[in-house]
Amino acid sequence: MNFAAAKATLWGVLVTAALAVLIIAGSRNLAHFDAALVGYTFASLFAVFGITYRYAIWLQRPPTEMYWRRGWQVFLDRRYLARNLREWVKRLISMFALNNFIMRRGRRRWLAHWLIMWGCVIAAMITFPLVFGWIHFATPPGDFEHYRVYVFGFPTITFAVDGFGGFMLFHGLVWASLLVIPGVMIAMHRRMRDHGAGAVQQFGEDFLPLILLFAISVTGLMLTASYTWMRGYAYDFLAILHAITVIFTLLWLPFGKLFHIFQRPAQLGVTFYRDIGALGEQARCVRCDDEYASKMHVEDLIEVEQKLGYRYAIADDPARHYQRVCPRCRRSMLAIAQGRLWDRARGHGDSGGTGDIADLLGGDKEE
Amino acid sequence: MAQGPDTLKVNERFGPHRGYASGTRLASNIEPDRVVNTHCCFCGQQCGIQLKVKDNEVVGFEPWYEFPFNRGMLCPKGVKRYLQGSHPDRLLHALQRDPAAPGGFRATEYDAAVRVAADAIARIQTEHGNDAFAVLTGASLTTEKAYLMGKFARVCLRTANIDYNGRLCMVSAAAGNKLAFGIDRAANPWSDILKAEVIWISGANVAECAPITTEYVWQARDNGARIIVVDPRITPMARTCDLFLPVKPGRDVALFNGILQLMIEHDWLDHDFIEKHTAGFEKLAEHVSTWTPARTSRISGVPEKSIRQAAEWWGQAKTSFLMHARGIEHHSHGVQNVLGAINIVLASGRIGRENCGYATITGQGNGQGGREHGQKCDQLPGARDIANPEHRAHIAQVWGVEPDDLPGRGVDAYEIIRKIDRGEIRGLLSICFNPIVSLPDNNFVRRALEKLDFFVSIDFFLNETARHADIVLPGSLHEEDEGTVTQTEGRVIKINKAIDCPGEARQDWRIIQDIAAALGRPHGLAFSSPREIFDELRVASRGGVADYSGITYEKIEKQYGVFWPCPSDDHPGTPRLFEPGAWNPIATGAGPFYFPDGRARFNVAEYTPPTEDVDQEYPVILTTGRVVSQFLSGTQTRRIGPLVDQYPEPRIEMHPQLAESLGVQDGDWVTAESRRGDCTLRAMVVTTIRPDTVFIPYHWPGRKSANQLTISAQDPISKIPEYKVCAVRLRKAEHAPEYAEQLEPQQG
Amino acid sequence: MAVPENMDFFIDPSRCIGCQACVQACGECDTHKGHSMIHLEYVDRAQSTQTAPVICMHCHSPTCAEVCPADAIKRSADGVVQSARKPHCIACSNCVLACPFGVPKMKVELELMMKCDMCYDRTSVGKKPMCASVCPSQALFFGTHEEIEALRPQAQSINRFRFGEQVVTTRVHMMVPESRPEYVDVTAAMEAGPTGRRIALSVIGTSPRTGE
């Protein structure tokens, strides 16, 4: 096991252990822990280990490590902190709550993602605290009309058993699945019809997560249907089926597409890196002298590339590292480099030198 | 001159607005209802393209890899051509001029509009004679429509005055070819370019005006060819060619004469060929003897050493292909330039054989077919001469009229404008022509058109000329009709209908027939399909030089086009002219060329300076041309957003030396002024143009129009205007022109 | 579905005429409809009409993917470096700045990098990419080695490029003269201006002459 993996394993163990402690503490020594949900709990613990492990490995990759470090650095920079916090709230809403950037990629795509995302967020907020025993409901002594919510064993709000609030709360997972199902269907429909998506999509990467979310939602709804309208018909079977779908998803979480849930917040860090970079000194192309990126970004990238083993430095002139050439000039240089080979082959003279018409004119330059 | 509120209001209602892909056209999940094999609607290359159709809308394209000319290749215009359909500017109703209405026109019922037009035509012809009503047509029409327009003018209107915008385009080449070869068509298919040893390109910005030809030239070079480019600008092809001759605009014939002189001096001649298959060489040889390299260099502006090099390569080649385009043709001596080019081809004997070719690169989509079947003022179908009694008799018989009832020669397109100005022509029908943008000295053109008693225009968008019309009838887009087109090689190809006309718009040939019916003169104008028109055209062309009688829609489809002449059903067509044994109704076996003796003619090509040369007052040469993303007067391409974005507005291209003398930097506003008008544009300062010359692309109207400056001098034989040379003076503009703030880039 | 092994992309910028057919056609492909991914620029329009068409070269070991902090760029088994995976890309622009060929494009409004994917919807089913289909100069050519060798007897293909000390090999090939170098030395073009015939038209007099 190499160092990175060892470090990641350690982080995984630590975070998983921390969760275990929280479960024990939050459920008051498992007093409020529902033994029927133990499968979910262990799957969650595994998922947390896996996600932490992968996250830690990910953070140790040179580019990620650089962004992680710089992202916090620029965010917490005292000069910009107030601004950053304001922007952070704004971006949290526009990027994460509203998914505006996905809207710009396509309306159907946005609708699918937004429905699935909020369905999953709601479901997660309900499921995990219940599974971990962090929340439980009890009727206050002598009051059968109300429920009281206990969080980490501490009593909080009460609400009427038959009231609207109670109805909404107890059916929270139903609402969540009613968001997820249409979202999944839109996404599936798009994947089946769109030629572009069709060319690059893969079953494991693109269909499996949709199928899993669909399965969780549908089996969940069937459970509700069973106890609400069918007097618990096949309830046990459905409960096991539902558990299987959820547990499989939890176990798969660190490996597949859904891991983007955990990577995605990095997008926020990037926006601050971009903002602060734009406020600072700009890199000028060593060839055309135009500004093309923030100097911080270019220099950071040079460091990252060195760590990755790239050798874009120009040996005889380190100041003119190839990364200090702007992308536009790189494209031109490629054409020029090839054009020079052809010039030489066709005897068009050394390009960049003086022209052949001048030679030709030689003796008969016009008056 | 400020933009009048009128222009702005018309722009607002009728455009040009920029159309972009949206909705279905941007969706990536569309299964088209059908995919139609057809061709591009723009230039003379007529690239094959497949249009994807969904719900009666062209939603995109797919390369047509099987079509042999372009094998899927397209230029940016072809790629985005599909955006001309479903356009917000599309005319969906007939329009009647109404100054009170927004944009100056109100929509009117189609039949009523046709009625108004017919009544006006009848009134003008009764009061002022048949010739007082003129017809202007275009070479972007299918051959069927071109044929119908000629017939409509001669049989229904009985006016001599019909001419077309090919007058602005290939007529010098046509006239030169007829004088030298007796036939007007590219002598070779483009496949003969591929194995030629030397490719000579004169006055053709191939990369921008005939982009697909580029691949043929490059492939020839891969096979070892040397490329010679003659142009006042270092065009994209000139950049890497083997020899570049930076000719001074208007001096091409001097260069050709000088080359021929060197060929004679070094005996780089095909004596056998000259002896057996040509006439007139001695006289020509005597004429060019004065064109020494020194004199040629002095006049043409090309270094003597380059002239010698070119002559050596050209003279010693075993195979070759010479092509030219408007660069040598748009001159008051355009025919002479063309004859000069043909002379060096004939002297080399390299024609009528594999890999030995000569061609003009056609400009307009149907530049070739559109000039063969009777919409030229002096011509009847089958490339027949309207002044020739035998030809008249043949066509009169096909049309079921008396030969004497056919009008005689009319005047050329510019002369029609002059006649309008003089009050001799009082009424005009215009289709597929936008003279206010495309004719030289267009301020004069506009003033003339304002004098018309009645003007009816047929178009799918309200082009700048149609703004002056009394009645506008909504015509059809390329993809809304079928028919044939003859592309640059002489290959007859088939345009297929992809969608139906929207709204009240209808196919142009139906509109013409509706007018004829409303006039009460429907004789011979009651076709029910383009195929019927084509079948009559085949009969009409039978026995003519441009013989289409053996061509059918089915044969075109099967063979990916049929090269005319194709005189019978079992004839495969004639890709290469002047081959031994090739069908030739004129020489009938006497020789390969289309004269009774079968011999090609050497013609003395006289050098004369341009009509308006530079002087102290107007010291700079102005030359005009195209950019790759726009086409002709821009009626279509200035409405296609991505093409507008590629080159939004005209710029005046000049050498840094000239710019420096004016105190001008790249991007500055510069006023160019000629004796006829002025124009303020941004400068584009580049070393790729002669320092004594400036270039302006001509696709824009109004205050951005290069043709405000150009001269209406014409070639005495072909009547082509001299777009390529006039004299201007330049000054740095003190401030941006008013239009800069008022108009979108594509508007003028 | 994968791009057939024997089908390759061959580019020859020296043939390019700058017409932008590729740029216009690029956005017509279904994997990036409405977004043109190809680059086409004048090298130095004041001096020359030379243009540089640049598509993704599909490196064997893509720098863009290595510097991506979000694992968003993947190279599929057929050697095509795919556009950023949408759920992963965090729009950091590392790839844009790192790519030695200057290929990726940052679509800030979409929080997404997009790049040429060789029109994967087309090439993965055996069709030609849009740009190479339409290119009127065939500066962009898609086909087999046998085809290109037959068509261009004076040229050979090469897929190694040097930037600084780094040599990069790519799936896309570039056409060079027969005297095939070991690699195309891109850094060596640092100081060079446009290529092609450098024709000094300024030596032609500007004084007006009335001719004969």
**Whole-prediction pTM:** 0.94
Put simply, the chain C residues between 183 and 212 with a CB less than 8 A from any chain B CB are 196-197, 199-202, 204-206, 208-212
CA distance A96 to A101: 9
State the amino acid at position C184 in one-letter form.
V
In which residue ranges of chain B is CATH 2.40.40.20 found?
620-742
A223-276 pLDDT tens trace: 999 988 988 888 899 999 999 999 999 999 999 899 999 999 999 999 999 999
Is the torsion defined by CA of B272, B277, B279, B283 positive or negative? negative
> Hey, what amino acid is at A316?
D
- Looking at the domain covering C8-203, what would its CATH class be? alpha beta
Per-residue pLDDT at A359 exceeds 80: no
What is the pLDDT at residue A142? 81
Q: What percent of chain C has pLDDT over 90?
A: 87
Question: Strand C8-11 vs strand B678-685: parallel, antiparallel, or unpaired?
Answer: unpaired
Q: How far is C13 from chain A (nearest CA, A)?
A: 6
Which chains sit next to C, with 3 or more Cβ pairs under 8 A?
A, B
Asked if C25 and B79 come within 8 Å (Cβ–Cβ), the reply is yes
Burial string for B312-329 (b: 16+ CB within 10 Å, else e) reads bbbbebebbbbbbbbbbb
Q: Which residues of A touch C187 (CB under 8 A)?
A: 314, 322, 333
pLDDT tens-digit map of C61-83: 999 999 999 999 999 999 999 99
Instruction: Give me Rg for the CA atoms of chain A.
Output: 29
Task: Report in angstroms the alpha-carbon separations of A151 from A15, A144, B379, B626.
Answer: 21, 20, 97, 76
Q: What whole-number distance in Å separates Cα of residue B198 and Cα of residue B319? A: 7
Q: What is the pLDDT of residues B172-189, one digit of tens each?
A: 999 999 999 999 999 999
Residue type (1 letter), A52: T
What pLDDT score was predicted for residue A356? 47
CA distance B43 to B211: 10
Contacting residues of A for B304, CB less than 8 Å apart: 363-364
CATH 3.40.50.740-classified regions of chain B:
94-169+369-488+504-544
Q: Where are the domains of chain C?
A: 8-203
CB pair distance less than 8 Å for A364 and B303: yes
Q: In the predicted model, is pLDDT for residue A350 greater than 70?
A: no
User: Which segments of chain C have a pLDDT < 50?
Assistant: 206-212
B39-66 per-position pLDDT tens digit: 999 999 999 999 999 999 999 999 999 9
Partner residue facing A331 (CB), from C102, C163, C198 = C102
B79 and C19 in contact by Cβ < 8 A? Answer: no
- Residue among C52, C69, C198 minimizing CB distance to A354: C198
Does residue A366 have a pLDDT over 50?
Answer: no
Q: Spell B199-217 as b/e; 16+ CB within 10 A means b.
A: bbbbbbbbbbbbbbbbbbb
How many angstroms separate the CA atoms of C201 and B237, rounded?
16
Q: Is the CB of A366 less than 8 angstroms away from the CB of B298?
A: yes
Q: Stretch B281-300: mean pLDDT, rounded?
A: 96
Cβ pair C74, C85 in contact under 8 A: yes
Instruction: Report whether pLDDT(A361) > 70.
Output: no
Q: What is the pLDDT of residues B372-408, one digit of tens each?
A: 999 999 999 999 999 999 999 999 999 999 999 999 9
CA distance B271 to B289: 17
Give B196's contacts (C-beta < 8 A, 6+ positions apart): B220, B225, B317, B319, B320, B321, B355, B356, B357
A118: CB partners within 8 A, 6+ apart: A179
pLDDT at A135 over 80: yes
Q: Do C19 and B207 touch (CB under 8 A)?
A: yes
Interface of C with A in 84-143 (CB under 8 A): 86-88, 90-94, 96-103, 109-112, 117, 120-121, 124-125
- Write down the pLDDT at residue A315: 82
pLDDT in tens, A273-313: 999 999 999 999 999 999 999 999 999 999 999 999 999 99
Say what the pLDDT of residue A365 is. 36
How far is residue C27's CA from residue C37's CA, in Å, rounded to a whole number? 7
Q: Specify the CATH architecture of the domain B94-169+369-488+504-544.
A: 3-Layer(aba) Sandwich (3.40)
- Measured from the Cβ of residue B131, the count of other Cβ atoms closer than 10 Å reads 19
For C19, which residue in chain B has the nearest alpha carbon?
B628
B237/B233 Cα distance (integer angstroms): 10
Residue in the structure block whose two tokens are 């979409």: C110
pLDDT recorded at residue B2: 36
Q: Which of C130, C114, C126 is nearest to C27 (CA)?
A: C130
Substitution target from B24, B305, B688 for chain A, most A beta carbons within 10 A: B305
Tracing tokens 């033994």 back to the chain, one arrives at: A35
CA distances from B58 to B76, B430, C134 (A): 17, 27, 19
Per-residue pLDDT at B727 exceeds 50: yes
- Give residue-wise pLDDT tens across range B128-155: 999 999 999 999 999 999 999 999 999 9
Q: Does A124 touch chain B (CB under 8 A)?
A: no
Cα three-residue angle B486-B487-B492, rounded to 5 degrees: 40
Average pLDDT, chain B: 96
- Give the whole-angstrom CA distance, residue A137 versus residue A129: 12
Q: Does B239 touch chain A (CB under 8 A)?
A: no
pLDDT for C208 equals 40
Q: Check if the beta carbon of residue B587 is closer than 8 Å to that of residue B596.
A: yes
Closest listed residue to residue B259, CA positions, set B218, B217, B222, B230: B230
Report CB contact under 8 Å: C133, B73. Answer: yes
Record the tokens describing residue A72, joined without a space: 């916090």
CA B340 to CA B287: how far, in whole Å?
12
Tokens describing residue B285: 């040889």
Question: Which of C86, C178, C190 lies closest to A333 in CB terms?
Answer: C190
Q: How many CB atoms lie within 10 A of CB A162?
A: 9
What lies within 8 Å, CB to CB, of C121 at 6+ separation is: A195, A196, A198, A199, A200, C29, C30, C31
Cβ neighbours for C23, distance < 8 A, ≥ 6 positions apart: B76, B646, C36, C38, C40
Report the C-alpha gap between A201 and A213 in whole angstroms.
18
B334-347 confidence digits (pLDDT tens): 999 999 999 999 99
pLDDT confidence of residue C204: 64
Q: Is A165 on the interface with C (CB under 8 A)?
A: no
B229 contacts on A by Cβ (under 8 Å): none
Tens digits of per-residue pLDDT, B623-636?
999 999 999 999 99
Dump strand ranges (E) for B86-160.
Answer: 94-97, 105-108, 133-137
The predicted-structure confidence for B428-471, as pLDDT tens digits, reads as follows: 999 999 999 999 999 999 999 999 999 999 999 999 999 999 99
The CA distance from C106 to the nearest CA of chain B, in Å, is 20
- Write the pLDDT tens digit of every residue in B571-598: 999 999 999 888 999 999 999 999 999 9
H/E element, B417? helix B413-421
Q: Quick one: pLDDT at residue A349?
A: 53
- Over 80: is that where the pLDDT of A355 sits? no
The architecture in CATH of the region B187-361 reads 3-Layer(aba) Sandwich (3.40)
What's the rounded mean pLDDT across residues B95-106?
Answer: 93
Q: A 193-212 residues with CB below 8 A of B? A: 193-197
DSSP B640: B
pLDDT of residue C212: 43
Confidence of residue A30 (pLDDT cuts 50, 70, 90): confident
Task: Please provide the CATH number assigned to the domain covering B620-742.
Answer: 2.40.40.20
